[in-house]
Structures are given as structure tokens and as C-alpha cells.
């Protein structure tokens, strides 16, 4: 991916132009215009070149994003960078979240110049790209700029792969529980608390389900990602999604299927076939609760600001297993990287450096996004943004005591995700029993890992 056509301000400042006099080869002052035959001053070619150099040639870099039209996650920082750097235009290559890694993989396998800068959807794909030598190592750039990684509180070091920095923390997300206050008020049911077990959550989903047909309100909603089952199975830190034996997933699939079969959430087949996005289900008030990442805060704030939605909503801590305390959550870091195929490495690094800076973190906090740089100030900024839910419980919901990666930093994780996704779908549509699915996972992951 090549950081296409981005110019660092230092480059623009260093450009100079040399011109020749109209007659002879003696160097002339480029600020001096040659007199025309009619006595008027005409613009010399040297003057034009000087102006062009002073203004800076417009350059373009391409940046990959996903679901950019439904969230300000990327655009807010992209716009801020272009405002600070008027000689740079950033071309956004947007793909749906479900197709992002596949589309990006095709582009990189062709070693084509677009995209230049990569927002990495998950850390596993970053390892895969690094193994294929598709990412540019950033260490030399960081050393030249005396780049301080301490602001990431160790996250930058955790992102290193084989001792090399291929990406810097852009965004940090973890799972919380969103809920529709108006629906809870109408039902006369207390809001979800920040210390709620998964068993209590299942009971609440049943209680908040009402209506029939097109007017039905579901107690909760699970998107089609397998993570909406496996996340809770690894939440206590005892397991990961890379294991020799996946029996630990069984109780979580049993509970999820119970929610679906009892009609407390929309069924997987309908969501998959109709390609229904979770944001529309919550925005259209078709569900009372939604387990989703903190990135959805920005989406809801933007929807309230634009008038797309006008109901009252809240945030609670994600439910926790009965044998753990409150404050356990699951999440991931979104890195930003540079393509190994970029023809503008300096410009690419300049954008990456800005996108992962304190300045960018403040911009993102202003639209409800958490970043790789976590501070009390950023939490205050996010929770003070207009349209963020009022109430101290909503602020407390964003604090956690234990943070587990949804996927481990395993070089085979992207390959392992395929059977995880496929088996998940087969279980959810009833083509596999849970035991059959677990057996299939054990077999296919063992083949991938060579166990």
C-alpha cells in the first residue's frame, strides 16, 4: 500500500526553484518579472515555478477504512489532517466491515499502489500482512523523529511483531452493553446495571421482549459475528479462540441458541440473508439491548446529532461471568500501518504519525471514540460530548478492571478465524449441533497449528 501523493510540510518547505534569465544563461532572480514589449510586466516561467513551489504541489494518498459512512471513526481525523495540510488530499477507500480483510488482501496480493495507508481491522491480519512483507517497518521513521511510544502505555510494544513495529495504536475498543432507556421506561423495568451477570442479562432479554411481527421489540440483539459468542467465553482470561479443545464454548452457544429459539433476539439466518446491520436494529428501536464495541458510541452520538434517532439510550458495563467480578471486558486495538508498496513513505508516515498522536486522540474523543492514548481527560471529553447519555452510571460503564484481547496475537489467527466463522454459522442455522461444531473446530484448528 502506497501512501500516495502526500507531502510532508518539511518537504514543501525545503523545495527551491532555479530559473534562467530570459536572455543568456546567467541566473536571474526568480522574483523579478521580465518586461513585455508593451511595457507591462509579464509572468515569467520562473515566477510560475516559484509560486508552485511556495504553494506546494497537491498530492494524494489513499487510506482504507470500513463502514466509513456509518461512523466518524476515521473521517474526523482524516478531515483534520487535510485541514492542517492543505496540499494533501486523502482518498478514502471504504469497504464494509465484513468484506474489509478480504478486499484488502486482494489489493495487497496485487502489490498495487492503492491503498497507501492501512487502518488494520484486527491485529491478527496485521501479523499476516507482516509475514507476507506487505507492511512497511516504521522503526527507522520513529527513530529519526525521536518518536515517543510511552504515550501508548505499552500498547505500541505489544503490537511489535518479531521485534519490529509495523503499526501504531489508533483506536482502542472494548465491549459494553447499549440499551434503549425509553423501551425500559415503557416496560417499567430497571435499566441494566454495571454489575450484571450473563444469567441476569438472559433473564432481562426475556423480560424486555414484546410484540409480534413487524412491530416486535426483541429483548436483545446479536450481530452475526462469531465474536458475539466467543468473546464471552474468553472474557475471564482462561481461554482464547486458539485452543486444542473448544469444549469451553458449549455453554455459551447453548445460551445464545436459547435466546434465538425463544425469540428474544432475531435469528441468525434472517440477519445473514437480509444482510441486516446491527446499527439499524438498535437505531430503529427493534431491540432493547445490544452488546457492541465502544466504537458504537460515536455512531449513536452522530445519529442523535443529525436527527436520525431521537430516543434516550444508555451504556452499561458488559455482563460478566458469575465466577468473576464486574469490570471484565473484551476488546482490541486498531492499528494504523503503511503499505510496503507505497511510493510516498515519508508522506505516509506523516499521516500515521498524526493519526496516532495526542492531537488526534482529542479529536476522536470529541466524537466519542477511544484511542490508543488513554487519559482521564479523554474519558471526560467523550462523556461530555453532546448527546452522550447523561448520568454517572454511563461514565462508570466505560471503566474496566480486566481487558482481554478478543483474538490472541497468533500468526495463524486469520486462518483459524475461517473455521471459527464457518462453524459458528453452521451451529446458528442448525446444520451442526454444538458438539458437532466443537468436534469440527478441534479437528480443523489442529490441522492449521500442526497439533
Q: What is the pLDDT of residues 222-241, one digit of tens each?
A: 999 999 999 999 999 999 99
DSSP at 413: H
Mean pLDDT of the chain: 87
Over residues 53-78, the mean pLDDT reads: 84
- pTM for the structure as a whole: 0.71
Task: Judge whether 44 and 34 are in contact, CB under 8 Å.
Answer: yes
Angstrom distance (rounded) from CA 253 to CA 437: 10
Give the pLDDT band of residue 40 (cuts 50, 70, 90). Answer: very low
Sequence-distant (6+) residues with CB within 8 A of 59 are: 4, 5, 6, 7, 87, 88, 89, 344, 347
Judged by DSSP in three states, 64 sits in strand
For the purposes of burial, counting CB atoms within 10 Å of the CB of 84, is it exposed (0-12), middle (13-18) or buried (19 or more)? exposed
Task: Judge whether 242 and 410 are in contact, CB under 8 Å.
Answer: yes
Give the pLDDT band of residue 55 (cuts 50, 70, 90). Answer: low
Q: Could you give the percent of the chain with pLDDT greater than 90?
A: 69
Give the pLDDT band of residue 279 (cuts 50, 70, 90). Answer: very high
Closest Cα partner for 295 from 122, 116, 82, 63? 122
Show the domains of the chain with their CATH numbers. Answer: 59-173+331-389 (3.40.190.10), 174-330+403-449 (3.40.190.10)
CA distances 146 to 49, 141, 154, 416, Å, are 34, 8, 17, 37
Amino acid at each position: 500500500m502506497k501512501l500516495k501523493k502526500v507531502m510532508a510540510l518539511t518537504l514543501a518547505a525545503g523545495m527551491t526553484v532555479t530559473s534562467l534569465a530570459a536572455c543568456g544563461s546567467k541566473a536571474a532572480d526568480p522574483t523579478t518579472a521580465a518586461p513585455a514589449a508593451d511595457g507591462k510586466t509579464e509572468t515569467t516561467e520562473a515566477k510560475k515555478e516559484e509560486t508552485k513551489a511556495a504553494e506546494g504541489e497537491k498530492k494524494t494518498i489513499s487510506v482504507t477504512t470500513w463502514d466509513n459512512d456509518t461512523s466518524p471513526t476515521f473521517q474526523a481525523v482524516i478531515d483534520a489532517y487535510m485541514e492542517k495540510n492543505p496540499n494533501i488530499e486523502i482518498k478514502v477507500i471504504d469497504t464494509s466491515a465484513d468484506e474489509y480483510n478480504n478486499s484488502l488482501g486482494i489489493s495487497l496480493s496485487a502489490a498495487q499502489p492503492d491503498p497507501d495507508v492501512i487502518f488494520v481491522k484486527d491485529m491478527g491480519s496485521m501479523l499476516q500482512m507482516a509475514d507476507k512483507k506487505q507492511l512497511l517497518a516504521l522503526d527507522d521513521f520513529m527513530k529519526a523523529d525521536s518518536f515517543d511510544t510511552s504515550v501508548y502505555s505499552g500498547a505500541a510494544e505489544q503490537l511489535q511483531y518479531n521485534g519490529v513495529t509495523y503499526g501504531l495504536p489508533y483506536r482502542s475498543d472494548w465491549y459494553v452493553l447499549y440499551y434503549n432507556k425509553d423501551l425500559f421506561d415503557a416496560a417499567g423495568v430497571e435499566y441494566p446495571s454495571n454489575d450484571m451477570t450473563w444469567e441476569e442479562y438472559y433473564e432481562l432479554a426475556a423480560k424486555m421482549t414484546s410484540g409480534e411481527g413487524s412491530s416486535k421489540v426483541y429483548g436483545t440483539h446479536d450481530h452475526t459475528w462469531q465474536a458475539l459468542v466467543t468473546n464471552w467465553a474468553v472474557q475471564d482470561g482462561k481461554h482464547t479462540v486458539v485452543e486444542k479443545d473448544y469444549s469451553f464454548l458449549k455453554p455459551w452457544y447453548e445460551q445464545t441458541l436459547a435466546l434465538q429459539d425463544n425469540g428474544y433476539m432475531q435469528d441468525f439466518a434472517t440477519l445473514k440473508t437480509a444482510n441486516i446491520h446491527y446499527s439499524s436494529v438498535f437505531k430503529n428501536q427493534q431491540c432493547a439491548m445490544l452488546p457492541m464495541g465502544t466504537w458504537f458510541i460515536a455512531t449513536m452520538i452522530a445519529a442523535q446529532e443529525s436527527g436520525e434517532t431521537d430516543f434516550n439510550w444508555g451504556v452499561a458495563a458488559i455482563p460478566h461471568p458469575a465466577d468473576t467480578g464486574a469490570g471484565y471486558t473484551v476488546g482490541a486495538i486498531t492499528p494504523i500501518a503503511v503499505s510496503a508498496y507505497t511510493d510516498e513513505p515519508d508522506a505516509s508516515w506523516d499521516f500515521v504519525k498524526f493519526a496516532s498522536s495526542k492531537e488526534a486522540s482529542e479529536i476522536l474523543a470529541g466524537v466519542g471514540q477511544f484511542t490508543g492514548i488513554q487519559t482521564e481527560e479523554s474519558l471526560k471529553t467523550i462523556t461530555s460530548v453532546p448527546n452522550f447519555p447523561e448520568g454517572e452510571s454511563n461514565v462508570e460503564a466505560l471503566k474496566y478492571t480486566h481487558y482481554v484481547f478478543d483474538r490472541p496475537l497468533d500468526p495463524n489467527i486469520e486462518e483459524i478465524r475461517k473455521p471459527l466463522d464457518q462453524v459458528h454459522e453452521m451451529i446458528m442455522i442448525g446444520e451442526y449441533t454444538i458438539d458437532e461444531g466443537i468436534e469440527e473446530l478441534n479437528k480443523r484448528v489442529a490441522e492449521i497449528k500442526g497439533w
